[in-house]
Amino acid sequence: MLLTDMVFAVEFRTLAATCEWNEPALTARFLEGLTGEIKEEILAHNLPSSLDQLVELAIRLDKRFELRRHARAPGPEPQPQSSTVTFPVLTSSEPEPMQLGVSFCEARVVKVPVGPLVHVEGQAISIRCDVSDYEGPRDQDFEWYLVFADKTLQLTSTFEVNFADPSVRDWLNSGDISYHKLGDAAVELKFKKVRATDSGVYRCSTPSTDSVIRGNYHADVELKVIRDSLKVAPAIPKSAVNEGESVDLQCTTTRGFTEHTFLSVTWSIRKGSSPLEEILTFGPDDKIKVGDNYTQRYTDGGLLLDLPGGGFYGLVLRNAKPSDQGGYVCTAQEWVRQGEEGRNWRKILEKSKEMGKVVVTPTEKEEEHPKAIMPDYTNQPDH
- Is residue 281 within 8 Å of residue 264, measured between CB atoms? yes
State the pLDDT confidence band at 89, using cuts at 50, 70 and 90: very low
- 117-132 pLDDT, tens digit per residue, is 999 999 999 999 999 9
What are the Cα distances from residue 127, in Å, to 117, 204, 205, 335?
9, 9, 13, 18
Q: What percent of the chain is predicted at pLDDT more than 70?
A: 75
Reported as type and span, the H/E element at residue 337 is: strand 326-338
pLDDT of residue 97: 41
Strands 218-226 and 117-120: parallel
Distance CA 132, CA 33 (A): 23
Neighbours of 246 (CB within 10 A): 14
- 288-346 pLDDT, tens digit per residue, is 999 999 999 999 999 999 998 889 999 999 999 999 999 999 999 999 988 766 678 99
Residues 21, 25, 29, 32, Cα dihedral to 10°: -170
Average pLDDT over residues 359-367: 79
Question: Which residue ranges form the domains of the chain, and what is each CATH number?
Answer: 2-86 (no CATH), 109-226 (2.60.40.10), 231-361 (2.60.40.10)
Look at residues 210, 172, 212, 207 and name the one whose alpha carbon lies nearest to residue 190.
Answer: 172
Q: Is 131 helix (H, G, I), strand (E, B) or coil?
A: strand
Neighbours of 383 (CB within 10 A): 3
State the pLDDT confidence band at 258, using cuts at 50, 70 and 90: confident
Q: Which of 69-73, 133-137, 186-190, 375-379 has the lowest mean pLDDT?
A: 375-379
Q: Is-cis flag, bond preceding 116, omega within 30?
A: yes
Neighbours of 5 (CB within 10 A): 21
pTM exceeds 0.95:
no
pLDDT of residue 367: 59
Q: Is 218 helix (H, G, I), strand (E, B) or coil?
A: strand
